Structure formats: C-alpha cells, structure tokens
Amino acid sequence: MHEQQPESNARRTVLKAGATALAAGSLSAMVMVASSQVSAATATNKGHAPMTTFTTRDGTEIYYKDWGSGQPIVFHHGWPLSSDDWDAQMLFFLSKGFRVIAHDRRGHGRSTQTATGNEMDTYAADVAELVAHLKLTNAVHVGHSTGGGEVARYVARHGAGHVAKAVLIGAVPPIMVKSEANPGGLPIEVFDGFRTALAANRAQFYREVPMPFYGFNREGVKTLDGVVDNWWRQGMMGGIKAHYDCIKAFSETDFTEDLKKISVPVLILHGDDDQIVPIGDSAELSIKLVKNGTLKVYKGYPHGMCTVHPEVINADLLAFIQS
C-alpha cells in the first residue's frame, strides 16, 4: 500500500508538474516562433537586405558592416583588431547622416582566417573588391595604424574615381622599420620581438599591448579595463598566422610612392605620445609626401586616441569631411 501524500504536498506536486508542462509547452512555442522568425529573416535577406559578407576572387570571405545612407565613410582598422574598433566613430557618423562601412581585414575578426595573402597589396585589393561590391563612389576612407597603410595603398592604386578624401590616424606610413633609407625607424628587432611574443603566447601578449596602445602605462592615466578587454577580444577573434604575417606588412611595407600618388585631400592625425607608431617617423614624414595634406597633432594623446578621446577625434573628422 502506498502512503498517501498530505494534501499540501500533493497540491505542490500537481502545481510543479503543471508548471513544468507549461514551461515545456511555452518553450516549444518559443522555439516554433523563433524558427519562423529566422526563416522569415532569411527569406528577407535573400530578397532585399544586404549580406554582411562577400567573397573575394581568391575565395576569402570578408565580413563588413554597412549602415545608413548618404556619403559613404569607409573605416579601416589596425592590427590585430576588427571593425569593432570603430564603434565610437560608426555610431557618431551614422547619427550625422552618413553611410558608414567597416570591414574585418582578411585574417582578422570574423573574416576568413587566411594562411596566404596577408600583405598590403592583397589588403588593398580586398578593399577595392569591397568598394566594387557595394558600388561606392565619393567615399571618405579613414584608416588607423595598419589601416592607414591600407588606405594609402588602396587610394593610390585603386581609388581613382571612387575616393573623395582620405584620413590617416596614428598611421604606419611612410615605413616603420629602420634602414639606411629610414634611419629614424624602429629596429627590426622590435618587430622580431612582436613575432616571438605572439608565437609564444598570443593571449598574454594581447593583454600587454593595450597598455602602451592606449597610454594606460603613463603616470596618472587610469586603466579602462573594458577597453583592454575589448582589445583582447578583438585580437583573439582573428587567426594567429594572419596576425603573424601582418607584423611584416605593417612594419616593412614602404608607402612612400603611394603617398606621393594621392591627389585627394588627406588629413593626418597623430598623438605626440604615440608609443606604438612614433610620430617622428610617421606623420611628420607623411605630411611632406602628400600633395594636399593637413597634419594635426594632439598633445599627450596615445595611439588608440579614437577610442579614449572619441569626442575630439570625431569632431575633427566631421569638420574635415564637411569642409
């Protein structure tokens, strides 16, 4: 004979069973609704909405964001980051009525983790394919750090008829590595150290780089943990082979002739406390090579000034674009 449960316990059991059944039923209903929404969204994307990736001629899938309408601004990120590094600029210029576009360079972010093509000629060719894919004209191209080199090469080699203006922010041109022709550059041992640290423990290396990148290692500067975490997150999304190869691309590529070829207006922005791309061997030389350039120097600003001083940088970018 089974012992009868007290009424209160029995009632709780029934309620619990009913709640479980209700939850299961609700979950099933939610799954069905979600599935129908996904199907509808997929159908919509196929019919009308622009996809967020495109495939280059060599089969590399490039992820990009494309928001808004109006004059297009194309943002080119630095090493080893992604289009997410432009969050503060994308939102700002979208709110000002521009069409804002940013892509993850091959091997970075959500794009294909490539083993080949991780050099500046291919980076620029990928941008040219993106521009053709989106049918962009009268665009402003804004590049930070390695992205500044990408802008210089793209505009010089592929930009005719598509580009209105260019902006180089904390950018690597003309060339970073020290040589007889570039005595003020950084010794190759610096970049060898980057490669060694990346290969040995990329995750730890990407914890350390943001400190000088944003000037958080300077006395009196508060470390913003969220900014450091976001830098690390972006870096770890990409492929180690592509990031390893890109060190050579950003440090040893010579952009001298590219800068000389650019005829559109160029704005060069640089912090005088940039510990990643020292101003004396970059912006101060680049301004002498472009035909129609303006140099603006920010006292005490670090390499990552677009993130830690967006209100200043965005205002100056807007003024240049609208001028």
Same domain, 205 and 245: yes
Q: Is the pLDDT at 256 greater than 60, yes or no?
A: yes
Same domain, 122 and 62: yes
Which candidate, 275, 292, 271, places its Cα nearest to that of 283?
271
Q: Is the pLDDT at 230 greater than 80, yes or no?
A: yes
Output the CA–CA distances (angstroms, integers) from residue 133 to 56, 113, 304, 306, in the order listed.
Answer: 10, 21, 30, 28
Q: State both tokens at 125.
A: 């060719």
pLDDT of residue 42: 36
Which stretches of 48-175 are DSSP H helices?
87-95, 120-134, 146-158
| 77-89: pLDDT as tens digits | 999 999 999 999 9
Q: How far is CA 116 from the centre of its chain?
A: 20
Q: What is the average pLDDT across 43-52?
A: 45
Which residues are bridge partners to 54 per DSSP?
62
pLDDT of residue 295: 98
Q: Is the pLDDT at 104 greater than 80, yes or no?
A: yes
Calculate the average pLDDT of the chain: 89
Domain boundary among 33, 49, 65: 49
End-to-end CA distance of the chain: 91
Contacts of 106 (CB under 8 A, 6+ apart): 56, 60, 62, 112, 114, 117, 118, 122, 123, 126, 242
pLDDT of residue 51: 52
When pLDDT is cut at 50, 70 and 90, the band that residue 228 belongs to is very high
What is the rounded distance in angstroms from the CA atom of residue 101 to the CA atom of residue 76?
Answer: 9
pLDDT of residue 226: 98
Same domain, 128 and 230: yes
Query: What dihedral angle (degrees, nearest 10) is formed by the CA atoms of 169, 139, 86, 112?
Result: -110
Q: Which residue segment(s) compose the domain that 267 sits in?
A: 53-322
Q: The CATH number of the domain where 115 resides is what?
A: 3.40.50.1820
Q: What is the average pLDDT across 110-120?
A: 98
Of residues 48 and 154, the one with the higher pLDDT is 154
Same domain, 134 and 44: no
Dihedral sign computed on CA atoms, order 127, 130, 135, 141: negative
Same domain, 268 and 236: yes
pLDDT of residue 31: 36
Same domain, 163 and 74: yes
What is the rounded distance in angstroms from the CA atom of residue 131 to the CA atom of residue 171?
Answer: 21
Q: Is the pLDDT at 33 greater than 90, yes or no?
A: no
| 178-211: pLDDT as tens digits | 999 999 999 999 999 999 999 999 999 999 999 9
Output the CA–CA distances (angstroms, integers) from residue 230 to 83, 84, 146, in the order listed.
Answer: 12, 9, 18
When pLDDT is cut at 50, 70 and 90, the band that residue 34 belongs to is very low
- Please count the other Cβ atoms lying within 10 Å of the Cβ belonging to residue 233: 13
- With contact defined as beta carbons under 8 Å apart, do 293 and 283 qualify? no
Same domain, 195 and 294: yes
Same domain, 151 and 260: yes
Same domain, 94 and 148: yes
Catalytic residues: 145, 274, 303
| 158-177: pLDDT as tens digits | 999 999 999 999 999 999 99
Same domain, 221 and 79: yes
Contacts of 309 (CB under 8 A, 6+ apart): 298, 301
| 235-245: pLDDT as tens digits | 999 999 999 99
pLDDT of residue 81: 98
| Overall domain count for the chain | 2
Q: Is the pLDDT at 17 greater than 70, yes or no?
A: no
Q: Is the pLDDT at 232 greater than 60, yes or no?
A: yes
What is the rounded distance in angstroms from the CA atom of residue 243 to the CA atom of residue 53?
Answer: 20
Of residues 216 and 25, the one with the higher pLDDT is 216
Same domain, 38 and 63: no
Same domain, 177 and 41: no
50-70 burial string, b = 16+ CB within 10 Å, else e?
eeeebebeeebebbbebebee
